[in-house]
Amino acid sequence: INFKLSLRTMVKTALCVAACVASASAFVPGNVNTPSFSTRLSAKQDFLEATPYHDQSTVPVNVYKNKAPFTGKVVSTKRIVGPQATGETCHIIIDHNGDFPYWEGQSWGVIPPGTREKDGKPHSVRLYSIASSRYGDDMTGKTGSLCVRRATYWCPELKADDPAKKGVCSNFLCDTSPGDEVNMTGPAGKVMLLPEEDPNTDYIMVATGTGIAPYRGFVRRLFVEETPAGAAYKGQAWLFLGVANSDALLYDDEWQSVLKKYPDNFRLDYALSREQENKKGGKMYIQDKVEEYADEVFTKLDNGAHIYFCGLKGMMPGIQEMLKGVAESKGLDFDEWVKGLKKKKQWHVEVY
């Protein structure tokens, strides 16, 4: 490859080499019609930007719909959790040939093949937060990634997983092979977009499990890729991730690499419910970890920080109860406080 990369570019793109190599190795020989997938890294990721880059007036929304979906092709499907993780989570790279643009924080809809048993109608669309930046893991702007946990149902009578009750779409995605086609809709949503007009803005990102997906796109855009947003960014992005144990951590190698290179601009805290204890001696859940830094979090929000929540909807009651307790201890009316954050568009929630 005859092009020059600055030292800084080479460092920032190092994270992507593993993804590219892994994706390339996922191809199989023979008659499989694998999608084109380049491992070439561009010198800069600036060719999919608005003008100016922080202008959100042209964000694509619902370009492809249920009745006329886009057909993407799987590049690779890889399990990304250890043997002791609770369940299986996969990272799936999908080739869209540059015809399905999206922004960080948006979701893709996936329509699993086949029909529903109860009425013979096609399966309904399932939304998945996109786990890559708009440039994709290979930075060509032609792929996007999903982070999917295989949904299974444990039957207490059978004392085994009941295949009849498994998640149709998550199992379809986790079972895909290179070259498989995926019918997709979207991109969907604007609630999780990054406000980039002020490069000093702090971002507080709270996730449980696969709710990490949009934040991977954020972090790659700000710290890994040579984007105009990354070049301008002077704030702090603070990531909180809650999972069951160390084997269930998602993209830890990527976070650690960014943390090492940008210790002043990136922070990382884990809540490992089966390995850590909270201050009361109970399991360490995501709200307990955030509470440890409550004063700092509240101060950041008072100063204009944006806070994001993504993951299973069951995460929100515990978080809201914790935040309410902290707010009251500070003499604040919790409902009015949250209302104020929402009014200033600092409060972003996407749960499922």
Rounded Cα–Cα distance for residues 304 and 201 (Å):
7
129 given a catalytic annotation: yes
352 given a catalytic annotation: yes
Rounded Cα–Cα distance for residues 173 and 342 (Å):
34
49 given a catalytic annotation: no
328 given a catalytic annotation: no
Residue with tokens 């995605």: 173
CB 290 within 8 A of CB 330: no
- How far is the first Cα of the chain from the last one, in angstroms, to the nearest whole number? 43
**In the chain, what's the furthest Cα-to-Cα distance?**
68
**What DSSP line would sit under 254-303, residue for residue?**
HHHHHHHH-TTTEEEEEEETTT-B-TTSSB--HHHHHHHTHHHHHHHHHT
128 given a catalytic annotation: yes
Question: Which of the following is catalytic: 64, 128, 203, 215?
Answer: 128
Rounded Cα–Cα distance for residues 123 and 51 (Å):
39
Among residues 284, 265, 267, the alpha carbon closest in space to that of 275 is found at: 284
Alpha carbon 346 to its chain's center: 19
ω into 187 cis (within 30 of 0): yes
Rounded Cα–Cα distance for residues 239 and 249 (Å):
13
Question: Which of the following is catalytic: 107, 129, 133, 145?
Answer: 129
Contacts of 320 (CB under 8 A, 6+ apart): none
Question: Which of the following is catalytic: 196, 225, 226, 350?
Answer: 350
Q: Which residues are catalytic?
A: 128-129, 310, 350, 352
